């Protein structure tokens, strides 16, 4: 067997498979390697099994709105050349039914497996070869050629694409292999940490809220100060160990260890005036009146911590009412940590974009490319990370075709 290829892609996830399909259909002889038996497992579980595959609200001219990294403008070139509409048209071409949930988020009507079948069909159309499971032991570079030692024997190529993702969800096969290859060839790395991850709280201070596990409600959430302040209006979920839900996943990518987060637990309600109104007209217990404004379990957890609140609305002092309104609309609390890579949807940081071309995704090491999550580009929750996978893969595939 002739094991020389126009391009070898390591990683059979969203970015790797899409890049392989585009490059193969451009006429390249492409090999995809992955140490897992299954393809695109993170696609399979994403969006509650429906795959939030892109976001219509993405503004490619202002990527800093929806992407993090030391240089969020790095992704502008790729995102402008392969847009959400481009991927939507591909989804439609494959006859996949989809819907918009909210805020531009697009999901499959049926299953995330539809997107996986799309990716594999695109690879088949390009004559792509896949070896799975097939680990890579070593990578060597000699005279413009990469030589890979794999479980299925030696492989040679002039173009090596690293699409191995980040460290998130290790039970699905995530490893640091891509970062190790980057370091091997002298590329810089930005410190990695879990992103889009639930936050945890320990100790007696959290005890009154642990009983709220399973409670979900819309909130305003923010962290940071002044120009670094970041705010989201999303749903919050109480868990046994802390807080989750879209609101917390979004803010977790901006939250720094030791920094507080601030929550408005009743963003649609003017709590001071509503509580004063209840005081003037109601003979009910305050907890019952408050339970009309916020979820009753939340009202009970709050009122139970202050004896001054455990009486009828008319009997509660104004000072206590104002304090309660302030606490519920601006609850400041400091997480002790996060659920880590086990529960993180993405990895923040990665291969430093200063060592990559924004046009081609090629590194300063000739013929070595990095795409998708392994790069220091992280999107918001809501389809932005998949769009980065498609766009970076497309930019890379176009460059591979031009190179060949």
What backbone phi and psi angles, to 5 degrees, belong to 230? -125, 135
Region 363-391: what's the mean pLDDT?
98
% of the chain at pLDDT higher than 70: 100
Contact 53, 87 (CB under 8 A): yes
Strands 153-157 and 4-5: parallel
pLDDT at 203 exceeding the cut of 90: no
**pLDDT for 57:** 96
3-state secondary structure of 128: coil
Distance CA 32, CA 132 (A): 8
Which residue do the tokens 């980065």 mark?
A: 388
Distance CA 315, CA 309 (A): 9
Half-sphere exposure (CA, 13 Å, Cβ side) for 284? 12
Work out the pLDDT band at 226, boundaries 50, 70, 90. confident
pLDDT at 2 exceeding the cut of 80: no
pTM, whole model, 2 decimals? 0.96
Q: pLDDT tens digit string along 33-79?
A: 999 999 999 999 999 999 999 999 999 999 989 999 999 999 999 99
Strands 331-333 and 261-264: antiparallel
Contact 244, 250 (CB under 8 A): no
When the pLDDT of each residue in the chain is averaged and rounded to a whole number, the result is 96
Distance CA 403, CA 359 (A): 13
Region 340-355: what's the mean pLDDT?
98
CATH number for domain 198-339, candidates 1.10.645.10, 1.10.10.10, 1.25.40.20, 2.40.30.10 = 2.40.30.10
**pLDDT for 104:** 97
User: What are the domain boundaries of the chain?
Assistant: 4-194+346-403, 198-339
Distance CA 147, CA 169 (A): 29
pLDDT at 195 exceeding the cut of 60: yes
Which of 320, 385, 384 lies closest to 347, judged by CA? 385
Please give the DSSP secondary-structure letter assigned to residue 268.
Answer: T
CATH architecture type of domain 4-194+346-403 = 3-Layer(bba) Sandwich (3.50)
Q: pLDDT tens digit string along 83-96?
A: 999 999 999 999 99
Distance CA 331, CA 310 (A): 20
Neighbours of 269 (CB within 10 A): 17
**pLDDT for 204:** 83
pLDDT at 102 exceeding the cut of 60: yes
**pLDDT for 1:** 52
pLDDT at 213 exceeding the cut of 90: yes
**DSSP H or E stretch at residue 378:** strand 378-379
């Amino acid at each position: 067997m002739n094991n020389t290829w126009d391009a070898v892609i390591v990683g059979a996830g969203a970015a790797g498979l899409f890049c392989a399909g585009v490059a193969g259909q451009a006429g390249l002889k492409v090999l995809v390697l992955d140490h897992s038996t299954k393809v695109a497992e993170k696609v399979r579980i994403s969006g509650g099994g429906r795959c939030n595959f892109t976001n219509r609200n993405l503004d490619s001219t202002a990527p800093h709105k929806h992407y993090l990294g030391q240089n969020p403008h790095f992704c502008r070139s790729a995102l402008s050349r392969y847009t959400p509409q481009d991927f939507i048209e591909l989804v439609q071409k494959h006859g996949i039914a989809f819907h918009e949930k909210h805020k531009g988020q697009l999901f499959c009507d049926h299953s995330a497996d539809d997107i996986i079948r799309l990716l594999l069909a695109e690879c088949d159309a390009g004559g792509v070869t896949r070896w799975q499971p097939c680990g890579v032991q070593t990578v060597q570079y000699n005279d413009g050629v990469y030589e890979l030692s794999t479980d299925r024997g030696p492989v040679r190529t002039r173009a090596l694409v690293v699409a191995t993702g980040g460290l998130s969800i290790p039970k699905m096969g995530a490893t640091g292999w891509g970062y190790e290859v980057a370091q091997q060839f002298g590329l810089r790395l930005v410190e990695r940490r879990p992103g889009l991850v639930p936050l945890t709280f320990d100790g007696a201070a959290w005890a009154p809220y642990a009983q709220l596990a399973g409670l979900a409600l819309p909130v305003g959430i923010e962290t940071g100060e002044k120009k670094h302040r970041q705010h989201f209006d999303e749903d919050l979920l109480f868990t046994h160990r802390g807080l989750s839900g879209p609101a917390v996943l979004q803010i977790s990518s901006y939250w720094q260890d030791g920094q507080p987060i601030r929550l408005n637990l009743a963003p649609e309600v003017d709590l001071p005036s509503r509580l004063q109104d209840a005081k003037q007209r109601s003979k009910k217990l305050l907890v019952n009146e408050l339970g009309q404004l916020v979820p009753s379990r939340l009202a009970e957890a709050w009122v139970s911590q202050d004896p001054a609140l455990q009486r009828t609305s008319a009997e509660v002092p104004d000072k206590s009412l104002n304090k309660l309104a302030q606490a519920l609309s601006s609850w400041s609390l400091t997480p002790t940590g996060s659920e880590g890579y086990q529960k993180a949807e993405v990895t923040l940081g990665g291969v430093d974009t200063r060592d990559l071309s924004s046009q081609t995704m090629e590194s300063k090491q000739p013929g070595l490319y990095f795409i998708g999550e392994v790069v220091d580009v992280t999107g918001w929750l809501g389809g932005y990370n998949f769009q980065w996978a498609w766009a970076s893969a497309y930019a890379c595939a176009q460059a591979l075709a031009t190179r060949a």
